[in-house]
Structure 1
Amino acid sequence: MAPQIKTSGRVSIGKRREVCPWQTSWDLSPLLNSDNDPRIETELEKVKQANSKFVQKWSKRQDYLQEPKILKQSLDELEELSRNFGNSGSPGFYFALKYELDQANPEIKAKLNKIEELEKELRNSKKFFMLNIAKIPEKDQQKFLSSEELKDYKHHLERAFQEAKHLLSEGEEKVLTLKESTSHDFWERLTSGLLAKQEREIMMEGKKQTKNFSDLLGLLDDTNQETRKEANKALMEIFEQYAEIAEPEINAILSNKKTNDSLRKFSRADQARHLDDDIETEIVDTVIQAVTSRFDISKRFYKLKAKLLGLKKLQYYEKNIPYGKKKAKYKFEESIELVKKTFSSLDKKFLDIFEMYLKNGQIDAFPRKGKRNGAFCTHMLITQPTYIMLNHTNSLKDVTTIAHEVGHGINNELMREKQHSLYFETPKSTAEVASTFMEDFVLQELLKESDEETRLSILMEKLNGEIASIFRQTAFYNFETQLHGEFRKKGYLSKENIGELFKEHMSSYLGEFVDTSSSDNWWIYVPHFRYIFYVYSYVSGELISKSLQSKVKQNPKFIEKVKEFLSAGTSDSPKNIFLNLGIDISKKDFWLQGLNEIESLLNETENLARKLKKI
């Protein structure tokens, strides 16, 4: 079991970290003082009472569905409930965060599970409210939408009215919520949970070593070809072993989705995702079509990578191996200064937010036993702090990860200043804009300080990330579309059927310089296919970010427009928010411009490789 983290947020392990002038682990004291804080039950009781008060007041009434003034009163009370309590208050956020720090701790898991059950119960108790609003007759809807009293909730109401035709009765909605764990969530966790427990013995540096599943995935990027082969061989054995389980698992998820779509009268498998994300299906289609039409860019990239590495072809598992030598170490303190310098050059507000996070213990910086891998930025209530998790190991990627996650945080703080609690979130279609925007500007700062050899390796790493975020995710989306379509035609798909579909779509963006012949079973470990059409958001976020970066470079004052967008939350649809900035995301040309920028970066990289006589 990992040691408990002190809520002061200060790290006392290792001399290198003691001298750090900032707090480098989370200070959770704004939420609770400890895992056994006597306030836990008190706070949860307040949450229950606040929710119960709202339900008791409005569940039997109909007048708020007839009079704008009364509807405003009810929405004001819902906003206050969402602002101060939500469905689990401070204990819910506290234990969600503690779980990320100590995932093997059964006591934390138990407390979190108990709180999650309460959250589900409270969400269900309030379902009547938005269901009733959604079913206000069309002839009466305009009265509410045009009401001056309700202007602060206009888009909230617009979304409710849009969802109306896909909603069921209150009782049926509760049943769907309650069955979601058994018909989707537990299936989703099954394969990933089994894979995470796997270990295999492989040969490394002349001796046998035992590696877990996560380690094996990481070794696919190792610079030693024999190590890559060993890791891939082990992964292939694991995938083969669990393909028999993954097959019914994914079919169960596909079947549940088909049932839900049929009940809700969705004509396409991805339509529910688009409605939930507040983006028009036509816009997502345009994004996917635009990127698919430029798969020549990703194919050129892999051709270049194969040449630089001296390989006739890359194996499928080798597509992400790094090229070249980069500066070996980027210590946390040095990385922080670089990110601060970049933010300062963009806008002082960005720097102020970052420094607040560092000062207040809102960033957990270093890896330790029991802590989750990777990085994220998270928030819950508008009245609670934002928290960022890192696992800084002094790599180049760690530098850009700081910028990426703090970008999400900046997005949160700007929304917090301008929006009420019902608009305090980002649509999935634009959720990655702030993060990639900040990340790219930090990368440009790194490039300024690099010699040509280092520059080439950084450019290759940058392109590798963009190909993965834009072209690979588009191929994933195309695969998902066909996967759901084939299931609905045939009623069941064998692992061989799924493997062939996957291989076909991976080949479509990788091209002839990547051997996909043994990629059949790689769909098994990709969690996104269980999240259902989530991946387009990476594509849209990256390409919108590129457009905004271009405009800021042309005119630094455009950063004010960027801040305007970042503060908008869900107060309007992404389409309308960008139209207010003079950007039309419904046009294919808009998306092609972003792709042209990637092509320009690829041209620059190819030219530099030729100049250095690498190809």
Structure 2
Amino acid sequence: MGREKYTWDLGLLYKSDDDPQIEIDCEGTLREWNSFIKKWKKDKKYLEDPKALYIALKEFEHLYTVYGLADKPMYYFWLKQALKQDDPKIKAKLSKIEDFATKLGNDIQFFTNSIARIPTDSQKKFLKDKNLAVYNHFLERTFISGKYLLSDDEEKILNLMVKPAYANWTKMTEEFLSKEEREMITEKGKRQIEPFNQIVGSTNSTNKKIRDLAGKYLHEINAQFADVATEEINSILEYKKVLDDLRKIERPDVSRHISDDIDSEVVDSLIKSVSSRFDISQRYYKLKAKLLKLKKLKYHERNVPIGELKTEFKFDESKKLVLRTFEKLDSELFHLAKLFFDRRLVDVNPKKGKIGGAFCIGYKTTLPTYILLNHNDKISDVTTIAHEFGHGINNELMKKSLSEINYGAPTSTAEVASTFFEDFIINEISLTLSDKERLILKLEKLNGDISSIFRQVALYKFEQELHKQYREKGYLSKIEIGNLFSKHMFAYMGSSVSKDKGSENWWVYWSHIRNFFYVYSYASGLLISKSLQNFVKRDPTFIQSVKSFLSEGQRRSPKDIFKTMGIDITDKAFWNKGLDQIEALLNEVESLAKKLGKI
């Protein structure tokens, strides 16, 4: 099968956009859920009797498995929109189903909220009940969230306040920035007007004139909107403070940990471990400055590649490479990966109207996992296949062993599978390259690891201090925010990156700080995968333990899953094993650069 034939078979869901089954499924969804709501709003026995709760949860899970919130129609039109973003008919149909799902979800939430409010003294009998064992961790998570729930009416008010008190603020800054344009120089030397996001991308140009011009413009744009962003940040910091005060949450990052199903002590251990090894990232930037023949890197030059691999990786060749790598690791992994191709669950070609980038989505246990690519024959496209197939294999392993209520990887470990397999592909590719090409490849990989681990941990620490100081002072000026930002960014980068005037304002466009305390998950996912890789390299049979881990979903907490593997993720030693892998790669790159006479 040629590359051009790799398109999604959405016929596995519906025959067409006008398939009568879509309406039938929506009607069935509403009918069955209304019956459930009517029954369990009236019958409150499930809040007192474990047997009644078991019956209620079985019905709840059955409806989520079969119908969800019109999941199958939603999935179909969401995928269609990914292929045809400008089609107004698809947008309209998707919007209609989203409204349907939102209303239905609001009607159903009484059930889990009621369970969450079961008194603490009564929770123990539910958690000890043998019939409820399959729902044990779901109940644990629900009970924990219940500690911070307000009344139903108060929760509805808070839901309504999200848009004016938070979303509109962040959307405002984002839209202001997206409208900015500047005259840039292209790689071919021509002048043309480019939008903000393209200017950001130009900071990675190997042409110093182009990247310096992009850096100059970004300094200007960030400074231009610093006053507006300051008011935005103060407003959403106040919004977060009000939420935490109402829910009696003391630490600003605790609500994130609860939603991600990870203990605060685990995140604290991660942050401390990475912070204590900032010497690794500082060494990396020192090496990069030497390779670029610069005394210091400018702030905007952090991600500049040292060179570019000219080798083309056609899709059929890339497919064989990925499948061969999976087969070397494990036969089951190979067959799961091959099925994505055989069942036409991969859409490969870039085309007009199709969304950019790549993703893997496994909506639920009863629906197929789909993978979207935009393959352009570059080496990064090969690692992207491995990355997205890692997510896909994770989904399929969970489907084999989990019911709907426990399906899905928690945010804290969501990137483990993808980065785990990505690194094995890079090692496979490097076997075919010259030393010069391997240096470029390894440096690019190292750059990604440094950004995903050290930079994100530095940002997390910036967030922690940002919220702390706001709660102490009541307002932070743009100068105070900028000083905090610089303090934490240069802590991980070191003295080989210059403190350029304007770099203190680069928090203005960084969207992650608006998605409170999310960024630790990049570091946790990658470091967990590094540690697991190390185990597999020492003992190839450990891949079975990796598969078991990837099969667990949300049946148990990440902490408990690792405990059964003999791993304590609250221990700094665990995170240091992953960091040792990063340092080993840095040592390898330094040695290779010396061998080639680059430093």
Does the alignment pair 1:270 with 2:266? Answer: no
Identity %: 49
Structure 2 Cα separation of the partners of residues 498 and 103 of structure 1: 37
Corresponding residue for residue 323 of structure 1: 306
Does residue 120 in structure 1 map to residue 84 in structure 2?
A: no
1:6 equivalent in structure 2: none
Give how far 1:21 is off: 5.7
- How many Å separate the matches in 2 of 1:23 and 1:385? 19
How far does residue 309 in structure 1 lie from its aligned partner after superposition? 1.1
Worse-superposed segment, 175-184 or 304-313: 175-184
How far off its partner does 1:308 sit?
Answer: 0.7
For 1:187-266, what aligned pairs fall within 5 Å after superposition?
A: 187-204=169-186, 205-266=188-249
Separation in structure 2 between the aligned mates of residue 429 and residue 186 of structure 1, nearest angstrom: 27
Aligned to 1:595: 579
Task: State the partner residue of 2:17.
Answer: 35
- Farther off after superposition, 514-523 or 153-162: 514-523
Q: Could you list the per-position Cα deviations for residues 2-58 of structure 1 after superposition, in whole angstroms to 9, with x for gaps in the alignment?
A: xxxxxxxxxxxxxxxxx6167423222223333343433332222222221221111
Q: 1:88 aligns with which of 39, 50, 70?
A: 70
Q: Determine helix, strand or coil for the equivalent of 1:512.
A: coil
Task: Output the CA distance in 2 between the equivalents of 1:186 and 1:365.
Answer: 35
Aligned to 1:5: none
In structure 1, give the amino acid aligned to 2:536.
V
Q: 1:35 to 1:245 in 2, by over 3 A?
A: farther
Select which of 513, 522, 535 maps to 1:538: 522
Give per-residue Cα distances to partners, 1:181-232, cap 9 Å, x unaligned: 3332333333333433433221334431122223222221111111112222
Moved more, 393-402 or 365-374: 365-374
Q: Is the 8 A contact 1:43 1:89 kept in 2?
A: no
Tell me the residue number matched to 2:33: 51
8 A contact 2:219–2:503 mirrored in 1: no
- Give the counterpart letter for 2:246 in structure 1: L
1:525 and 2:518 aligned: no
User: What is aligned with 1:549?
Assistant: 533
- Offset of 1:395 from its aligned partner? 1.7
Query: How far 1:361 sits from its partner (Å)?
Result: 2.4
Q: Is the 8 A contact 1:85 1:381 kept in 2?
A: no
Of 178-187 and 303-312, more deviation after overlay is shown by 178-187
Query: Which of these residues, 69, 75, 96, is aligned with residue 57 of structure 2?
Result: 75
2:409 aligned with 1:426: yes
C-alpha distance in structure 1 between counterparts of 2:95 and 2:476, whole Å: 34
* Compared CA separation, residues 27 and 247, structure 1 to 2 (3 A): farther
Q: Is this contact kept in 2: 1:403–1:439, CA < 8 A?
A: yes
Residue aligned with 1:29, SS: helix
Task: Give TM-score scaled by structure 2 length.
Answer: 0.96
Query: Tell me, what secondary structure is at the counterpart of 1:118?
Result: helix
Among 183, 208, 217, which residue is 2:165 paired with?
183
Which consecutive residues of structure 1, in runs of 5 or more, have no partner in the other structure?
Answer: 1-18
SS at match of 1:210: strand
3-state secondary structure, aligned to 2:546: helix
Number of the residue aligned with 1:560: 544
User: How far apart are 1:347 and its partner, in Å?
Assistant: 1.1
Q: CA deviation at 1:78?
A: 1.0
Q: In 1, distance between residues paired with 2:567 and 2:90?
A: 46
Please give the alpha-carbon distance, in whole angstroms, between the structure 1 residues aligned to 2:353 and 2:31.
35
Partner of 2:140: 158
Q: CA deviation at 1:480?
A: 1.0
Moved more, 536-545 or 109-118: 109-118
Task: Report the AA paired with residue 270 of structure 1.
Answer: D
Listed one character per residue, the Cα deviations across residues 60-98 of structure 1 (whole Å, up to 9, x for unaligned) are 221111221111110011111111211132221122223
1:610 to 588, 591, 594: 594
Q: Provide the rounded CA distance (Å) in 1 between the counterparts of 2:299 and 2:85.
A: 32
Contact 1:84 1:381 in 2 (8 A): no
Describe the superposition over 1:558-614 as per-residue Cα deviations: whole angstroms up to 9, x where unpaired: 111111000000000100000111111010111111111111111111111111111
SS in 1 for 2:507: helix
Measured in 2, the distance between the counterparts of 1:580 and 1:153 equals: 19
Which residue, out of 491, 496, 499, partners 1:513?
496
Contact 1:374–1:391 at 8 Å: present in 2 too? Answer: yes
- 1:586 is the counterpart of 2:570: yes
Q: Aligned residue for 2:365?
A: 382
**Matched residue, 1:4:** none
1:293 alignment partner in structure 2: 276
Give, in whole Å, the separation in 2 of the partners of 1:107 and 1:196. Answer: 26
CA distance in 2, matches of 1:189, 1:369: 26
Alignment match, 1:12: none
Query: What TM-score comes out, normalization by structure 1 length?
Result: 0.94
SS state of the match for residue 201, structure 1? strand
Unaligned runs of 5+ in 2: none
> Partners in 1 of 2:80 and 2:182 — Cα distance?
30
Aligned to 1:464: 447
Name which of structure 1's ranges 199-208 and 45-54 shifts more when overlaid on structure 2.
199-208
Q: Do 1:23 and 1:360's aligned partners in 2 also have CA atoms closer than 8 Å?
A: no
Q: Which amino acid aligns with 1:607?
A: S
Between the aligned partners of 2:13 and 2:172, the Cα distance in structure 1 is 32
RMSD of Structure 2 on Structure 1 (CA): 1.7
Secondary structure at the aligned position of 1:202 is classed as: strand
Deviation sequence 1:125-180 (CA, Å, 0-9, x none): 12221122122222222211111111111111111122221111122222222332
Aligned residues: 597
What residue identity is the alignment partner of 1:24? Y
CA distance in structure 2 between the partners assigned to 1:456 and 1:278 by the alignment: 38
SS at match of 1:614: coil
Structure 1 residues 179, 24: CA separation in 2 closer, same or farther (over 3 Å shift)? farther
What is the aligned partner in structure 1 of residue 319 from structure 2? 336
Match of 1:138 in 2: 120
* 1:14 aligned residue: none
The partner residue of 2:150 within 162, 165, 168 is 168
Report if the CA contact (8 A) 2:206-2:307 is conserved. Answer: no
After superposition, residues 349-368 of structure 1 pair within 5 angstroms as 349-368=332-351
- Residues 460-479 of structure 1: CA distance to partner in whole angstroms, max 9, x if unpaired? 11110100110010011011
Instruction: Kindly provide the amino acid, as one letter, of the partner of residue 234 in structure 2.
Output: N
Cross-structure match for 1:448: 431
Task: Give the match's secondary structure for 1:45.
Answer: helix
Is 1:439 matched with 2:422? yes
**Contact 2:3/2:348 (8 A) holds in 1:** no
Instruction: Kindly state the Cα deviation for residue 400 of structure 1 after the two structures are TM-superposed.
Output: 0.7
Structure 1 pair 187–86 and aligned structure 2 pair: CA distance change class (3 A): farther
Cα shift at 1:500:
2.0
Deviation at 1:331, TM superposition (A): 1.6
Q: Which residue of 2 aligns with 1:20?
A: 2
Instruction: Choose 139-148 or 175-184, whichever is displaced more.
Output: 175-184
